[in-house]
Every structure is written in C-alpha cells, then in structure tokens.
C-alpha cells in the first residue's frame, strides 16, 4: 500500500516548489489534483503490481474538500499525512508581485492583499487538522528543499518526528509552531561585546547561556515535559511536532538552548531535527 502525502496551503506559499522537491526524492507527484480524482489515483497507486510506493497529491483550489477525503482514506487503512504551507501576507504579496501571476481569488476580491486574506480565512479552519505546518516566509527554494529533505527523505517511519527550532521574538513567532517557549529570562550575551558577534552555536556563547543554574533547571524541566507528552501526541495520530524556543533576536540564548534541548532528547533515544530561523540576522 502506497504512502500518501497531501500538500495543501496558501497559494504562493510554495506548493509547486514542494512538489518539485518531492519528485526529486522519488515520490510520484500529482499536482493540482481535482478532489474528485483522489480515490481513483490512490486506487491505482495501491493496486497489485503498482510501482508507486510513495504518492504525493498537491491540492488545487478544492482544499476544503480534501480533508473528508483524507479521513476516508485513513479509515480504509491508508497512511496519509497532510502538509500545510503557510507564509505571511506581506511575503505572499511580494511573491505575486514579482511573478505577476494572478491570484486564484482575484475575481472574488478587490485586490491582491484582499485575495490573500480571503483565501487565508477560508483555509484557516483546516490548518489545525494538518499533520505539519511549514512557514515558508523566510525560506528560499534551497532552504525549503533542505527543510523537506530533513522531514521526508527516506522517511516512512510511524514514529513522531520532532523539530526544535530557535527564533527571535522581534521578528515574530513562527507560524508553524506547535509549542512555543520563551527564554528571555536568561542573561543576554548580546550585552557582552566579546560575545555579541558570535551565536549560540559557538562554545563561548553556549557556555555563557547553558552553564548556569537557571538554564539547567529550565532545560531539565522542559525536556522532561516534552518527553512526557510525546507519546500522547503520537497516540492522537500526530506525525510531526515543532517546538519553537525564542529569545529577543534569535541569535544567542534561544540557539544555545535549542541545541541543549535537542542533545538531551537525542540522548533519550528521540530523533530530533534542529533549526535556527533568525541566527543569521
């Protein structure tokens, strides 16, 4: 039986780029698929003798009709995961203006921004039912590919996949976060002139942040909490969990804490991906 991945989300958020990456990874990709054909495609992919073992379905405009289809496929025993691609309004405006493409909601709205907001309002209710939300706002094509490689390359395991990522509150909370933690209570290396040019990936900053009692208490308690709730997320059928840890600029404290949290989770046997959204700003 084929592994099935459904790609949905906002127009301009990267569905076509995602389809191209998945195709490079060996997935059989069907782009802009009408919902009425989902059952037919899945039946063909799952039939005896089919060479398709990983099927990616990229939604067209009929996004809302997909979720009942997904529920039906799951009830029939298929393993289906749904990825929702998101981005900020301002970034989507920039992308559409640079490509001069027409937004799918253009005929129903007064302008580009209104079209984007109308689609967002329509899709927002289904976003929470998706397995993974990827914020592509700050991702170029190569960064998106790297993110997808980390999630999908050779991955058909049923185990919950965990990502722990740093960010800066002054740049906004990542919209693909499932759990958000704030480490701005820790002393800030930014005010040390010797540490300011460095990041939380450098040993001096790591020592400044991690080697103090407050950090030790936080990391110990937080890892214990995460470890305790991971089985509950898995029991609920969640495939991906994104944990975001923030400081002011996303360059020092949150980066060091993310690496420490990830290291302890890995030591307990839990595979973890790390990412640092704002470390280069």
In order along its 281 residues, the chain shows pLDDT tens digits of 678 999 999 999 999 899 988 888 888 999 887 888 888 999 888 888 888 888 999 987 777 788 888 889 888 888 899 999 999 999 999 999 888 888 888 876 678 999 999 899 989 888 888 888 999 998 888 888 888 877 776 554 456 889 999 999 999 999 889 999 999 999 999 999 999 999 999 999 999 999 999 999 999 999 999 999 999 988 877 778 999 999 999 999 999 999 999 999 999 999 899 999 999 98
What the block records as the tokens of 40 is: 């037919």
CA distance 57 to 109: 28
Q: Read off the tokens for 229.
A: 């709730």
Q: In the 8-state DSSP scheme, what is residue 171?
A: G
Taking the alpha carbons at both ends of the chain, their separation in whole angstroms is 45
* Nearest partner of 113 among 12, 45, 260, judged by Cα: 12
Q: Are 8 and 32 in contact (CB under 8 A)?
A: no
What contacts 222, CB < 8 A, 6 or more positions away?
Answer: 181, 261
pTM as predicted? 0.70
Provide CATH 3.40.50.300 ranges for the chain.
3-152
Helix (H, G, I), strand (E, B) or coil at 149: helix
The C-alpha angle 273, 275, 280, rounded to 5 degrees, equals 160
Fold assignment, 3-152: Rossmann fold (3.40.50)
Helix ranges (H only) for the chain are 15-24, 38-46, 66-75, 89-99, 112-127, 141-152, 203-210, 213-235, 253-267
């Amino acid at each position: 039986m084929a592994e099935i991945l459904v790609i949905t989300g906002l127009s301009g958020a990267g569905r076509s780029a995602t389809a191209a990456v998945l195709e490079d990874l060996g997935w059989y990709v069907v782009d802009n698929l009408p919902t009425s054909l989902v059952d037919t495609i899945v039946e063909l992919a799952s039939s005896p003798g089919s060479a398709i073992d990983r099927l990616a379905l990229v939604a067209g405009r009929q996004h809302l009709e997909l979720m009942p289809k997904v529920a039906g496929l799951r009830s029939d025993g298929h393993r289906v995961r749904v990825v929702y691609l998101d981005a900020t309004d301002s970034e989507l405006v920039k992308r559409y203006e640079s490509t001069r493409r027409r937004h799918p909601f253009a005929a129903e709205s007064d302008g580009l921004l209104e079209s984007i907001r109308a689609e967002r309002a329509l899709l927002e209710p289904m976003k929470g039912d998706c397995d993974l939300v990827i914020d592509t706002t700050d991702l170029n094509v190569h960064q998106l590919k790297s993110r997808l490689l980390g999630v999908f390359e050779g991955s058909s395991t049923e185990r919950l996949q965990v990502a722990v990522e740093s960010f800066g509150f002054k740049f906004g909370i990542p919209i693909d976060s499932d759990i958000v933690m704030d480490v701005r209570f820790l002393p800030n290396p930014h005010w040390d002139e010797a540490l300011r040019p460095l990041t939380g990936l450098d040993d001096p900053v790591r020592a400044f942040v991690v080697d103090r009692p407050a950090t030790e208490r936080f990391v110990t308690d937080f890892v214990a909490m995460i470890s305790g709730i991971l089985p509950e997320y898995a029991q609920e059928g969640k495939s991906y969990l994104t944990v975001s840890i923030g400081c002011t600029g996303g360059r020092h404290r949150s980066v060091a804490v993310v690496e420490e949290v990830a290291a302890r989770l890995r030591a307990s046997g839990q595979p973890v991906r790390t990412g640092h959204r704002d470390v280069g700003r």
